[in-house]
Chain A
């Protein structure tokens, strides 16, 4: 069965970095794009970016360019989201999600459980 399992919660100080992992299983890793989505406490979903696990190519939402880096490790079927120079407003749940696409139809059909990143001094 398809699963996306994310790393555990993190507490970081402002200015530090964090790297969240998302390990895929139950399907061919390189066949499906992975998206990252952020949800601040009590807020809505925010699309951060997409990574092609086959090529490693990435596209970021404009507000997530610069301090945010998506990577993948194909042998372990794992994608990563690294956030540098953490600020208090980076405190949020970070989700990875697999994208199913068929023609112009697309949906995030499997989600990780979410990783809570707390930035606090």
Chain B
């Protein structure tokens, strides 16, 4: 299918590790990229490709992929990580892109 599926909400205790997942058939062929969006702000890129972080993104953010599932892991979640997270990838044709529905991360 031409969809990316994310859990709507995930919570994590302060300082613990959390994994946010993104499922879709096209992820067997293409990498996902991950975006963090805080209220009232534009999204920012946190992970792209196999496991690449743009300059300025803390190393507690990492990415991985297996089969039809891409994952964003935050190791030692901080209060400032509370946000909506979106995955993005190409569709099966490779010509179009698509976003997952987003995951709201709460840091307890």
Contacts and interface: CB of A to CB of B under 8 A. Distances in A.
Interface of A: 35, 37, 44-47, 50, 59, 61-62, 95, 100, 102-109, 111-114
B95 interface: yes
Contact of A111 (B43, B48, B90, B101): B43
Interface of B: 30-31, 33, 35, 37, 42-45, 47-50, 52, 54, 84, 86, 88, 90, 95-102
B47 to A, nearest CB: 8
Given A47-B97, A111-B42, 5 more contacts: A45-B37, A46-B99, A47-B99, A62-B96, A104-B49
B46 to A, nearest CB: 9
A107 B54 contact: yes
B33 A108 contact: yes
Given A59-B95, A113-B42, A107 B86 contact: no
Contacts of A44: 84, 86, 99-102
16 contacts: A46-B99, A47-B99, A50-B97, A59-B95, A59-B96, A62-B96, A102-B49, A105-B48, A106-B31, A106-B33, A106-B48, A107-B45, A107-B52, A108-B88, A113-B42, A114-B42
A108 B37 CA distance: 13
